[in-house]
Structure 1
Amino acid sequence: MDNAKRPLAINFSGDEVETLQADLAQLNFTIPATESEQKTFGVGTQGAIIQLQAVAGLPHTGIVDAATRLAID
């Protein structure tokens, strides 16, 4: 992921979210099919982010900020 990108959070959608979801799937986090198909950052994607943040020792915000992006990379 590109660390210069804006923070991502629930209700965002588009190509950035699609890339995020693909990266999370590569790390074995589950993303609901409907969210993946629609490229939407819903509660399922948020849950995967919170799980990743927990594993990485980051605050459990559910927001993809710079520190979370580094953990994904």
Structure 2
Amino acid sequence: HVATPVEVCSVRDVKGLYAKQAAGELTGLTGVDDPYEEPVKPDLRIESQDQTVQESAAAVHALLTERGLA
């Protein structure tokens, strides 16, 4: 599970979806005006605002290796 606060998603949004939602041009944006339920017990949780891409990739690789999938 990649956990990213809505505020961070908005800053990173290259498609402009959050700006369109804020302007009233778009509805149903998950986590903003459409509910989002985080997984209760994800196998892995990536805190993308606190980890580099390399750290996140290493965490995924470690989990896959641990499970014999890498």
TM-score band (shorter)? under 0.3
Q: TM-score, normalised by structure 2?
A: 0.26
**Scaled by the length of structure 1, what TM-score is found?**
0.26
Query: Counting strand residues as a fraction of each chain, which structure ranks higher?
Result: 2
User: Whose radius of gyration is greater, 1 or 2?
Assistant: 2
